[in-house]
Amino acid sequence: MGVMFARNYVLQSRDNVKRSKKQAVKSGNWIGLAPIGYLHLSDEQGEKNVIPDSERSPFIVKLFELYATGNYSLLKLAEEAEKVGFRTKKGKRVARSQIDSILKNPFYCGMMRTKYGLTEHHYKPLISSSLYQQAQDVSAAYYKKPHKKISEPFILRGMITCAHCGCTVTPEIHKKRYIYYSCTNAKGVCKKVYIREESLVESLSQYFDHIALSNQQIADVTSYLKKIHESENLFLTESLTALRNEQGRIPKRIGQMYDDKLDRLIDEKMYLEKVRDCKARQVKIIEQMARHEQAD
């Protein structure tokens, strides 16, 4: 009899926990580790909250903004993240797979994906829902039509189609110096005719000479460029702050590892390896800060 009561009590307790979690999720509470770009915070009453990580959240926003342009692959974003000093909470570089997970996570625009479905949370979003959707559209288009690696910066690449068949007009280099454009003839109805890039640019410039923007259009473009400039400056400042903070933590980390070695928590070999890693990271941080300051 006692075993039966005990079993019923365990089952009832488990059901209560499940109901409690489900109710918490429906109320917009996140259960589990906060996504990168957010931090857990507990107040004096022990109430837990999830707040933006001031050190990493600007990088999250920048990842979405860059990816939404359609000009960045996941590999390119990973390279950019490394350049600007975006690191995980453990101080490690952010891998391409992590960036993919970040870009697909709706938590950053105010929604959370749970076992009960997609639910709105009550924490501060880092990006707008429209920016998140733009990133998803780029991702969907990428997998439908993978981008080819662009080895040369041709100025008219992807901008011209054949007037006869509608196929793409593509560039290629002849004799290692001259750029020619020709129809891909994907439909097999065009003759192979080559046109020098200079001739195309000259023809197009004649049309551009007749284009004039109104005062309102000029004001709109100026305002847009100003916003981009301010956003870049803010990102640059926050990136430098993050790098300086990480730089300041490295000596403390080395000191802690030395204490661990003295306490025999780690051996001499591991200590030297960790110190070498920290020194290498210091050099990278200095290089990244120098690039940021030059950009400024």
Q: Would residue 37 count as lying in a domain?
A: yes
Q: Would residue 218 count as lying in a domain?
A: no
CA distances from 238 to 23, 60, 81, 289 (A): 37, 12, 13, 11
Q: Would residue 249 count as lying in a domain?
A: yes
What pLDDT is stored for residue 44 in this prediction? 67
Q: Would residue 3 count as lying in a domain?
A: no
Q: Would residue 8 count as lying in a domain?
A: no
What pLDDT is stored for residue 22 in this prediction? 67
Here the CATH number for the domain that contains residue 117 is: 3.90.1750.20
Q: Would residue 16 count as lying in a domain?
A: no
Q: Would residue 4 count as lying in a domain?
A: no
Tell me how many domains the chain contains: 3
Which tokens sit at 137? 């559209």
Range of the domain at 227: 223-294
* Local mean pLDDT, 10-residue blocks, the chain (296 residues): 50 52 69 88 75 91 90 88 84 88 92 81 89 86 54 71 85 85 83 87 80 85 86 80 85 89 88 86 79 67
CA distance 132 to 68: 8
Q: Do 128 and 142 form a contact (C-beta atoms < 8 A)?
A: no
Q: Domain check: are 198 and 239 in the same one? A: no
CA distance 66 to 77: 8
Q: Would residue 194 count as lying in a domain?
A: yes
Q: Domain check: are 123 and 80 in the same one? A: yes
